[in-house]
Structure formats: structure tokens, C-alpha cells
Structure 1
Amino acid sequence: MDVSPISVLFVCVKKGVRAAIAKAMVEQKSNGMIRATCSGFEPGETPKVILDELSNVLDVAVKAESKTVFEYKKANEKFDYVITLCDQASDEQCHLFIGCVNVVCSHAPHRLHWAIPNLAAALELSGNERTQFVKKVVELINLKVTQLLATAQV
């Protein structure tokens, strides 16, 4: 019996780093049962210091994608889940972002939101504080991915 993988789009309000982390984790843990894609709303490179911290706490490579959520809509790509990752506490205008994604991805049957702190906040920290902040963000994404896999029964 051939089963099509569940299709998930992770969308991050900034450069898509949190979405890329979630994508990498899902791909690693789902045994091919979930096809994950990620995007951001803002172009630009992730600061090297953040990438360095991520390489120290993740056992999976993170590759940011350059497509925006609008490009996926224009290409008429369909997803079973669209998951937004932003954090109202870090003043990312999260409610506007989620509303925009919900309109653009109104065809997706499952639209979820994960309140994940912005990794850019780590730029204001140094040493062990920065490492612990990044680690906390990664652990939170890992928890949400685990919950998604249980919900999707992968």
C-alpha cells in the first residue's frame, strides 16, 4: 500500500531560521512520512554567530530556503499543515503575520501556530547566555515537532 507523505509548510516571520530548524527535525524524525518545507517573510542571511550556535546544539543540518509563502501560493502548492512560528513577546507583529499566512494558505486544512522566540534575540547575548537561549529555542521546537508527529500519527 503506497501512502503519500503528509505535506507541511513551516513559515517564520523573519528569515525562516526557526522554520528551517522545524523542517530539519521533522525530516529527521518522520521516516519519510512527512514532507516538510520552510519559508520566511524577510530575505537575508542568518548571522554567522546564530548558525555557529545552532551547529553546537543541533545534530541535524539546517538549510534555509529562499521561497516566500507567497511563492508557494503562486505555484499553487498544497499543504496538509501550515505552521507559523513567531513570538508575540518579541514584538514581531505576530497577529498580523498569522492573519496574513492564514489568508494566503486558506486552502490548507490544518493551520497551526507555535509561539517560538526569535533567535535574533540571541544576538544581544554573549557566551553561555547566548548558547542557553539558542538551546532553549531548539528544545521548544523539538517539543512541538514531537507533538506534531504524535498528532499526525507518524
Structure 2
Amino acid sequence: MDKIKVLFVCIHNSARSQMAEAFLKKYGGDRFCAESAGLEPGKLNPIVVEVMKESGIDISQNKTKSVFDFFKQGNLYNYVITVCNEAESEKCPIFPGIAKKLHWGFVDPSSFSGSMEEKLSKTREVRNQIDRKVKDWIKLV
């Protein structure tokens, strides 16, 4: 059976899409091939790297990637899942083929302010929301 190819997209590919990709790789086993990309690739969010380590997942060596590069390469996906806000998700290119586009909106960890502990706490909340969403979605696919 072919793997279900999934692309997670957000603005910078620095936080939400990286977490979603990592959780799908962790829980999806051999059923899925997960990738992530951004509309404007930035730098990996160090707070996200930290909270993912707490979950036993090391994303510190991940690179941020451009969704438009994947599009130009002609990559095909079964699912393209945007994890940014609704307005940002509208900027995502339409991939050819049979991709189903889903939208899971999560708050952007780069928008958090406050002390380091407050940022970590808010980022953990987003991580946990993404973790639950990925687990729930796997059961449906």
C-alpha cells in the first residue's frame, strides 16, 4: 500500500508545521510520509525546539523549507494541511493531483510575548493542541 503523503504548511515553517510534521512521523508509522514547508521560510524557533525535546522529539537539525519549492518540484500530496491562520492559509499554492486541503488553525508561537517561562508555557499549549489534533486525525484517515 502506498504511503499517505502529507504536507503541513504555515508562514515561516519555524514552529507549527514543524511540530505537526514531527508528530505525524512519530505516530503515523509506515502509513504516512510527512513533510512541512512555509510560505516565507524563516529560522527554526528555538522555543519550539525546546518544547519538542520535552516530548522526546529532537527537531534541532530540521531546516525550514519553501512550499513554493515543493510546488515547483511537482511534489504530489494526498493532504495539504495549513496550520496557520485562515488568511495566511489562502496564500498557499494549490498542488496538482488529488490533494485534499485541510485547515487546522493554531496560534503562532512567534507571536508570544512575556518572560521566557511564559513563552515556553504558551508554546507547550500549542504543541499539545497539535499533538492531539494529529493523533485524532490519524484515527480518521
TM-score range, shorter chain: 0.7 to 0.9
State the Cα RMSD in Å. 1.9
Match of 2:106 in 1: 116
1:28-60 CA-partner distances (Å, limit 9, x unpaired): 1111110000001223323434433443x3211
Alignment correspondent of 1:107: 97
Shift of 1:69: 1.2
Cα separation, 1, equivalents of 2:118 and 2:37: 28
1:20–1:65 CA contact under 8 A, matched in 2: no
Matched letter for residue 104 of structure 1: I
Please list, as runs of the form range in 1=range in 2, the aligned pairs for 1:1-150 lying within 5 A after superposition. 3-55=1-53, 57-62=54-59, 63-87=61-85, 94-95=86-87, 97-101=88-92, 103-105=93-95, 107-122=97-112, 124-150=113-139
TM-score (norm 2): 0.86
Partners of 2:46 and 2:27 in 1: CA distance: 26
SS in 2 for 1:66: coil
Kept after mapping to 1: 8 A contact 2:11/2:41: no
Q: Is there any run of 5+ residues in structure 1 with no aligned partner, and where?
A: 88-93
The residue type paired with residue 112 of structure 1 is L
CA offset at residue 19 of structure 1?
0.7
| Partner Cα distance (2:75, 2:23) in 1 | 22
Larger radius of gyration: 1
With structure 1 as the length reference, what TM-score do the two structures score?
A: 0.80
Code of the residue aligned with 1:133 in structure 2: it is: K
**C-alpha distance in 2, partners of 1:39/1:64?**
11
Amino acid at match of 1:68: S
In the alignment, structure 2 segments of 5+ residues that lack a partner are none
Between the aligned partners of 1:112 and 1:27, the Cα distance in structure 2 is 18
Shift of 1:127: 4.1
Identity %: 23
